Structure 1
């Protein structure tokens, strides 16, 4: 018997919350990756590890926040905590391959593309392993065309986010890259959920939770699991707040000095100011001019 699936049990609350947490994790992670690329004197393994963990936690937290709104009419659902934890480890491990590849091989076209593929596959692997953690009185069926589309969305958008973060290192570029990555994560999730169908065992009116009839709602199982990753994201945000280069990017800092030096170089070249200071040390062209014209005037 086919069950009726509802992915928005709390209305727009879970999609909006999952998108925001996806953007937060992506912003922190991408900033850490760019920090390791821009400043060679920084502790590269530490920044890359922090970036990997924040992106992985953002992916995982986004998924299970969205899943608190998942319902199947007539039955209850629960989650295998071990598989849910395994999906977090897989997300961090696969994303880490892409992040460390960019960190140590540089932001070349090849490495950014490979890292985007790995990151997108990490998103997909986490999602479908997290779906395997579902426990209900039935089994899941997937439309494989929609599954393939969800994986493609994750790969393309993750690749684009890494390109944007590595190529344009200012604050606005970082914001745009994190918003794009948030679209990749939530877009992949809800596209994957559109591929899900549930075939029920027995009567549709039965409630199967925790291996028996009756029990708590899925949110009561998921919310305690989310505490750890959310706290970690908050702590990572504190690290970012105390390092302005992580927020602004080295590009903004490095462009400030050339602008100041250019201003200092152009200001003395004012037509009114230069003739009055022929011996200025800032422009060596004035000094030979003053020395060579005086003999001719004699």
Structure 2
């Protein structure tokens, strides 16, 4: 019987982006500006949906929740990433790493569910317009939002419980800028089969179910649109769905490229680039796409900019 004499690791070493040398400040500034723009744009969407009467509809309510999930997601990764850029890597407690994984999983699952809820809203609006007001009541919207967050928190907690059972006793270096699940599992000196099974079941069930639901919804939506006799009506129906479809393609495309069809293990730089796209760029594009392509949001922005620009009466 082999005697085990292993010291348990309590810290991981995140390598970040390595030595950036002369471009460190440039990369830090660029990422900081993108992060600030992401926070401002997503907060702006939430505020506009809350205060603008014209945006008090189910689609924008779900959009505001999507923006909230983006804020939670980026706020968990980007500040630490910026710090790693400045110091060229750093240590993180294993407990903090597990907490970061949990906080990343919650909004990731919730975003998939919100995108599915938004496709359901568009399906009801276009395919069953006479029943839209009775189906998409505020209480039903609230129930859907609560269900999305509850499922996100519950499934993430389920994965977190299995992750907490892992032990780390040899390697402690993660060649990444955040605690992603794959490199963490590679460092474990205990069996990871149960964690991998639970993670795979949760990931595939959430991604497959929501993506299938979105595809089926849009097949029926497109079929219903082609039945509209007026070209103006068809254009209006397509325009209300185009922004959502672009975000669905971006989100599921980047998510699948990292987790479902990941690069080879030796393609570390490619994996980091895809992760930057997923964690930094996509959260910025989501509110911008809706703002630039949606007349209601642009009208609300113009209205409040005009209001704020008026001189105060004395």
TM-score bracket, shorter-length normalisation: 0.3 to 0.5
Q: Which entry has the higher C-alpha Rg, 1 or 2? A: 1
Q: Flag the structure with higher helix content.
A: 2
What is the TM-score when the length of structure 2 is the normalising length?
0.33
